[in-house]
Amino acid sequence: MSSAEAQVRESVALEHGPAADLIRGLGPWQATAVVVSTIIGTGVFLVAAPMARAAGSTGLVMAAWLIGTVIALSGMLCFAELGAAIPDAGGLFAYLTRGLGPVWGFLVGWTESLLGSPVAFATLAAGFMAFVGFLRPGLDAAQFSWHWGGHVFTVAATRPMAAMLIVALVAVNCLQVWVGGGIQLLMGSLKVAAILSIIAVGALVAGPPVAAATPVLRPAPVGGILALLGALVPVMWAYNGFQMLGNLGAEIREPGKNIPRALLCGVLIVSVLYVLVNVTYFHVLSFNRVARSSAVASEVVRSILGARAAGWLTLAMCVSALASLHGVIMQGARVPYAMAHRGLFLGFTGRVHPRLHSPVGALLFQGALGALVALTGSFEQLFSLYIFVMWIFAGLGALALIRLRVSAPDLPRPYRAFGYPFTPLLFAVASLALTASLLWERPVRSSIGLAVILAGLPFYRFWRSRSRGASPLAVGA
């Protein structure tokens, strides 16, 4: 088969998508709940401390939140148009394949399947265990350690517990998609209530604002721009998730209408909550206390209402982390599933349960990887790696939108991004600047992510050549 014929077959596969064995079981409320629950996980409760250490002042922390909110809203507008126009399983995999070419689609699918989603699972599970550690002090103490060269490696009980949590939620996700949507709706409501309670306590019960202070841990990085970029990394982790709704594009009812609505409502709700709750943190606690805290939200409530109230709030935050982890597992598995149905990934990841219509092969594959990653690092170490590898491709998604406007003007677009072309350009530039900053600040972990991305090229050639002899929809079915 010629290269041109292979491209035609891939284009046909992309038009119709590997969705025949999935069901459109998510309505508008469930889709919105997926957005809110996926975004609000552990970040808003934990990232204030690393932001304070990176920025060096309350003003820069709040500036990072405001800038990050503008970036997230710009990205949401881009992904609303892409999701409505290409409502297929796989999200960015489908968007980049269509907008920038098959190799770019493969690289984002490869990276998300092998690294992005498993690292997100592990980060959320580590955040959950941080909350548990607040309730059970000493749980995160090192159980054993060993020396290798000049490095000391320690393992706490929280890491294998995080791995087991991932395995348990993978099992839950093997149920039908409408069950997962219902779980997201319930848990999403609880986590919004938890954040509103923090805001209410800070506004109604707390005393006068704590005076601003300079950090005592270490000075801010040289230069305000570097400090701001360093603080933006945790912000973008906190906003992570809106770009993943497109992974469920083949399972949302009336996607041309419901995907944009769910993204718009979900991100606006989250944005308002995030800014208000961070104002509350610095209103109640000193800058130095925020910078040192391992659970800022719990300390805010404890300082006002006491340890018992903080314990109940921490339980609510545990529910929030569980909901987000459940949602990310649900969405992440659709990427290797979509790739396998086009002959571009391991065939068994394309298997769907015949009765439950869930992609069990992809769920088990990513769950196993996520559990392994959970054994390797802490919350802060893991989220920086995720931001580096996945926000490169999120920025490319905005460029794919621009290219599709030029190359496919007749593509049906039930929704068009507000502020085009400025919003996609802003999101693309900000995403790529953020990843460049991470490569400079954290070269070792960023290099691991870059190596995984580049390692996908020979595998793309292998799977592409193997799939030319068979229909892309048949491979892996």
Q: What is the pLDDT of residues 131-182, one digit of tens each?
A: 787 777 766 655 555 555 554 455 666 788 888 999 988 888 887 665 666 6
- Mean pLDDT lowest among 40-54, 150-164, 269-283, 453-467: 150-164
* 474 found inside a domain: no
Of the two residues 218 and 54, the one the predictor is more confident about is 54
Residue 213 has a pLDDT of 47
Q: Which 3 state secondary structure label does DSSP give 239?
A: helix
Instruction: Write the pLDDT tens digit of every residue in 123-133.
Output: 888 878 877 87
Residue 164 CA to residue 372 CA, distance in Å, equals 10
pLDDT bin (cut points 50, 70, 90) of residue 85 is: very high
pLDDT bin (cut points 50, 70, 90) of residue 58 is: confident
How many domains, in total, are found in the chain? 1
Contact 338, 93 (CB under 8 A): yes
Residue 281 CA to residue 302 CA, distance in Å, equals 12
**Residue 381 neighbours by CB under 8 Å, 6+ apart:** 445
pLDDT bin (cut points 50, 70, 90) of residue 422 is: very high
Res 352 pLDDT > 70: yes
Residue 124 has a pLDDT of 81
How does DSSP assign 412-423, residue by residue?
Answer: --SS--TTTTHH
For residue 245, what is the DSSP state?
A: G
Residue 471 has a pLDDT of 42
Residue 351 has a pLDDT of 86
* 80 found inside a domain: yes
* 239 found inside a domain: yes
* 1 found inside a domain: no
Residue 103 has a pLDDT of 92
Residue 237 CA to residue 294 CA, distance in Å, equals 17
Cα distances (angstroms) measured from residue 266 to each of 31, 36, 343:
9, 5, 34
Return the percent helix, strand and coil in the chain, to nearest 5. Answer: 75, 5, 25
Residue 62 CA to residue 73 CA, distance in Å, equals 17
Give the helix ranges, DSSP H, for 244-306.
Answer: 255-284, 287-292, 296-305
Residue 287 has a pLDDT of 84
Res 114 pLDDT > 80: yes
Residue 397 has a pLDDT of 93
- The mean pLDDT of 389-400, rounded to a whole number, is 88
Residue 292 has a pLDDT of 83
pLDDT bin (cut points 50, 70, 90) of residue 5 is: very low
- The mean pLDDT of 333-344, rounded to a whole number, is 85
- The mean pLDDT of 343-357, rounded to a whole number, is 82
Contact 267, 79 (CB under 8 A): no
Residue 475 has a pLDDT of 33
CATH number at residue 307: 1.20.1740.10
- Mean pLDDT lowest among 107-111, 219-223, 311-315, 454-458: 219-223
* 234 found inside a domain: yes
pLDDT bin (cut points 50, 70, 90) of residue 405 is: very high
Residue 151 has a pLDDT of 47
Looking at every residue in the chain, the average pLDDT score rounds to: 78
pLDDT bin (cut points 50, 70, 90) of residue 184 is: low
Cα distances (angstroms) measured from residue 230 to each of 57, 79, 233, 293, 394:
12, 25, 6, 18, 19
**Owning domain of residue 444:** 22-146+155-467
How long a stretch of residues is the chain? 477
* 10 found inside a domain: no
Residue 138 CA to residue 165 CA, distance in Å, equals 19
pTM of the model: 0.76
Contact 64, 233 (CB under 8 A): no
Contact 411, 85 (CB under 8 A): yes
* 216 found inside a domain: yes
Q: Give the closest residue to 324 by CA, choosing from 197, 434, 239.
A: 239
Instruction: Write the pLDDT tens digit of every residue in 201-228.
Output: 777 765 555 554 444 444 444 456 777 7
Residue 423 CA to residue 417 CA, distance in Å, equals 8
Q: Give the closest residue to 43 by CA, choosing from 384, 447, 446.
A: 384
- Number of other CB atoms surrounding residue 475 within 10 Å: 20
- Number of other CB atoms surrounding residue 392 within 10 Å: 22
Q: Which residues pair with 153 in a beta bridge?
A: 146
Percent of the chain with pLDDT over 90: 17
Instruction: Write the pLDDT tens digit of every residue in 444-476.
Output: 777 878 888 889 999 888 888 776 654 433 333
Residue 288 identity: N
Q: Give the closest residue to 389 by CA, choosing from 109, 162, 124.
A: 109
Res 409 pLDDT > 70: yes
* 247 found inside a domain: yes
- Number of other CB atoms surrounding residue 101 within 10 Å: 13
pLDDT bin (cut points 50, 70, 90) of residue 80 is: very high
